[in-house]
Amino acid sequence: MKRRSSIWVVATEDGWAVRREGGKRALKVLAKKEEAVAFGRKQAKKDKTELIVQAKDGSIQSKDSYGKESPAADREH
């Protein structure tokens, strides 16, 4: 089975966008980062993929894996 693209939470002019890696359109744009992370986490768990959250400056703030990787692959939790 093909692994689905990672889910990214990124800052935009309109708020915080949740999008698939390589996708042109956001799945959803939310006003608060916490809401975007919660939505992104739910989608990543559903898709069994990775959630990547960026800080406002574009640096990667956190990564969580919800796939079938070993626990060692998830360094955040």
| 37-72: pLDDT as tens digits | 999 999 999 999 999 999 999 999 999 999 866 454
35 domain residue, yes or no: yes
pLDDT in tens, 14-43: 999 999 999 989 999 999 999 999 999 999
Q: Which domain holds residue 27?
A: 7-63
76 pLDDT band, cuts 50/70/90, is: low
75 pLDDT band, cuts 50/70/90, is: low
Please tell me the predicted confidence (pLDDT) of residue 74. 54
44 domain residue, yes or no: yes
Count structural domains, the chain: 1
41 domain residue, yes or no: yes
**Residue 70's Cα: distance from chain center in Å?**
19
| Cα angle value 54/51/37 (rounded, 5°) | 65
**Coil, helix or strand at residue 47:** helix
59 domain residue, yes or no: yes
70 domain residue, yes or no: no
56 domain residue, yes or no: yes
69 domain residue, yes or no: no
